Amino acid sequence: MDVEQEMENERRVGAVHVSGGASKEKLKMSKEKMKIEEFNDEEDVRDEKKNLLFQDYEKTGSWGKVSKTDVCIIVVLAVLLIAGIITAAVFLVEISSENNDMKSKESIASIDYTGELPSSSPSSAAPAYMDPSIQLEDALLAIERLRGPDGAPIVDISALSNKNVGFFIGKFESPSASPLVRALSWILLDDQAPVGENWLLSRLGLVTLYFAWGGTEWTNQTNWLSEKSVCEWYGVTCDRQNSKVEELNLNNNNLTGSIPNEISLLTDMYALWLKDNHLSGTMPATALGSLPRLASLYLSRNDFTGQVEKALRNNKVLTTLHLDGNSFTGEWPRGDGWVDDNGKSVFNLPASIAVDCGNGKEKGLDLSRCSCDIHMSCITCTQKYCVLVFEGLLMFLLDRN
């Protein structure tokens, strides 16, 4: 073989090698391309399947085996479960609060009040009571000190003097309990106000009247039995600076019941307005007459009965007395600051009197012996006469018939 032939053979072999390498390179590139195309095809298939699922959900309302109804039911159940958990939590909190309140009241039930009333005068301080047993002791002491002219207690607390605070638990809401017991129950266990000693008696007296006069049915009971000062209770006028309840005006307020002796707890009151209500029974003359400052008493147009007693003016300062529109009987009181044996009034201050007149037996008071001097404003009428004195002008109209 000559040199040229060998060179030709080597060229062919190299060409084959080159060709083979190119073919391998092309094969490798082809495989990678196929893998890429295969991956893209799989992605397309998955996208197509997703689209089909969405299309199916929109058309049929189902996603595989879960329907719209199933989803709604699950949501509703979840909401109910959450609401149930919240309700249970609130219920448990309320139960816990009630239990704590009951434990608190039961814890003071074991505190005994001995009934021994100290003889020392009350302190001028006005503490905010923290211990109900001390508050009870002070309240009973203050009530026991209220005495009539004969030295006898005006309000009977003999049935309460040996009671401890636990006795009053639940009495606030008991209609069968006396107004005073209900009032003490509220003051000791339910009142949220920081009541000091100076206001204790007034607050207790007003709450007692609330229960005695059907307070829940009053036309206006704004702020009564609230934590606010009694000076903000409807109808109450105070001298705040000196811690005094000076006036109570509950005219035309749908009051029922009778006037209890506990009215004497309002020791600083100078005017009491109870006109145009449905109060009945007799007047507690001793209790009203024991109020040292009571100058004006308005009881017109109620349903009171019985006699007008001398004790009503025991304080010697009562100068305004309106009793018309009731069913009082008997004669006008004599002596003790009313009228003398000649029928002349011995009220030592200008006065205003309004009373229904009758024959003294069947038709009301006999005021024929009640004369008014020029310093008084007096309205007394019968079928036979009328005496009017107004602003110092005296007129007698005799034998109107």
- b/e for 138-174, b at 16 or more Cβ within 10 A? bbbbbbbebebeeeeebbebeebbebbbbbbeebbee
pLDDT-derived band at 113 (thresholds 50, 70, 90) equals very low
pLDDT, residue 353, reads: 76
Token look-up 């080159």 returns 18
Strand partners, 366: 331
Taking only the tens place, the pLDDT of each residue in 201-249 is 999 999 999 999 999 999 999 999 999 999 999 999 998 787 799 999 9
How large is the average pLDDT for residues 131-141? 90
Q: Is-contact 254 121, C-beta < 8 A? A: no
- Show me where the domains of the chain are located: 78-109
Strand partners, 399: none
> Which tokens belong to 123?
């302190």
Q: Which residue has the higher pLDDT, 148 or 26?
A: 148
Query: Within 110-229, where are the H helices?
Result: 132-144, 179-185, 197-212
Q: Is-contact 261 154, C-beta < 8 A? A: yes
Q: Tell me how far the alpha carbon of residue 279 is from its chain's centroid.
A: 24
Lowest mean pLDDT of 24-33, 137-146, 383-392, name the range.
Answer: 383-392
Please state, in angstroms and rounded to a whole number, the distance separating the CA atoms of residues 198 and 267. Answer: 12
Angle made by CA atoms 20, 25, 31, in degrees to the nearest 5:
125
DSSP secondary structure letters along 316-340: S---EEE--SSEE-SBPP-STTSB-
Q: Is-contact 243 273, C-beta < 8 A? A: no
Give the number of other Cβ atoms within 10 Å of residue 314's Cβ.
21
> Which tokens belong to 193?
């106000």
Q: Is-contact 238 262, C-beta < 8 A? A: no
Taking only the tens place, the pLDDT of each residue in 55-79 is 555 555 555 555 667 767 777 788 8
Average confidence score pLDDT of the chain: 74
pLDDT-derived band at 341 (thresholds 50, 70, 90) equals low
Taking only the tens place, the pLDDT of each residue in 75-94 is 778 888 888 888 877 777 66
- 106 has pLDDT over 60: no
Taking only the tens place, the pLDDT of each residue in 278-334 is 999 999 999 999 999 999 999 999 999 888 888 998 888 898 888 888 888 777 776
> Which tokens belong to 118?
């100290």
